[in-house]
Structure 1
C-alpha cells in the first residue's frame, strides 16, 4: 500500500468515496478498516485500504502537534497582549502629561490675553 496521507482517508485515488468496513479474516477478526468500494485483489495497490486504528493513531498524533502549536501561539499572543497593555499604559500617562501641559499653556495664554486687554483698555 502506498502512502496516502495521514489520518482518515475520505477519497480513494480513483475518486470514489472511502467506506468503513470490518475484517472477517482469521488474522484480523472484527478489525475496522477504511477502503475503496471498487478495490479488488488484482488492483488493490491502486485503491485505498487503511486500518482504522492506524488512522486514529495518526489523527491523535497530528492533533497533539496542533495543540502544541496552539499552546506556543497562545503564549506568544499573551506576550504580545502584555506588551500592548504596557504600551497603552505608557501612552495614557504621556497623554495625561500632554493634557496638563496644554491646560497650563491655555491658562498662560488667557493670562497674557487679559494683560493685553488691560493694556489696550
Structure 2
C-alpha cells in the first residue's frame, strides 16, 4: 500500500492518474479502491493503492480539522469585528462631543465679535463727538 498522502489521491508517485475500481477478490468482494493503472501485485509498494472507505475516513477527518480551524478563525474575526464596532461607537461619541465643543466655541467667538463691533462702534462715535466738540 502506498501511504503517500491522505484522502483521495489524484496522481500516483509515478505521475499516472489514479483510478477507482471495484475489488473482485474473495477477501474484499465489491469493495471500492483507488489505484494506479501501472500498479501490479509485485510493484504495489511503489504505486498508489488505497481502499476508498479509508480515503473517505481520512477526507472526513481532514475536513473536521479544517472546519474547526474555520470556526476558530470565524470566532476570532467576529471578536475583531466587535472590537471595530466598539471603536466606531467610541469615535462617534467623541465626534459628537467635539461637535458640541466646537459649536459652543463658535458661539463664544460670535459673542466676542459682537462685543468688539460694539466697542469699535462706541469708540468711533466717541472720536466723532470729540472731534466735533473741539
Corresponding residue for 1:86? Answer: 86
Report whether the alignment pairs 1:24 with 2:24.
yes
CA shift, 1:103, in A, is 0.5
Query: Take 1:106 and 1:17, find their aligned partners in 2: how far apart are those partners?
Result: 78
Two-structure CA RMSD over aligned residues (Å): 1.1
CA shift, 1:116, in A, is 1.3
Report whether the alignment pairs 1:37 with 2:37.
yes
Corresponding residue for 1:98? Answer: 98
TM-score (norm 2): 0.85
Higher CA-based Rg: 2
CA shift, 1:28, in A, is 0.4
Corresponding residue for 2:13? Answer: 13
Query: Take 1:40 and 1:71, find their aligned partners in 2: how far apart are those partners?
Result: 43
CA shift, 1:102, in A, is 0.4
How many pairs are equivalent?
121
TM-score (norm 1): 0.94
Report whether the alignment pairs 1:71 with 2:66.
no
CA shift, 1:93, in A, is 0.7
What SS class does the counterpart of residue 81 from structure 1 fall into?
helix
Q: Structure 1: which 5+ residue stretches go unaligned?
A: none
What SS class does the counterpart of residue 43 from structure 1 fall into?
coil
Q: Structure 2: which 5+ residue stretches go unaligned?
A: 122-134
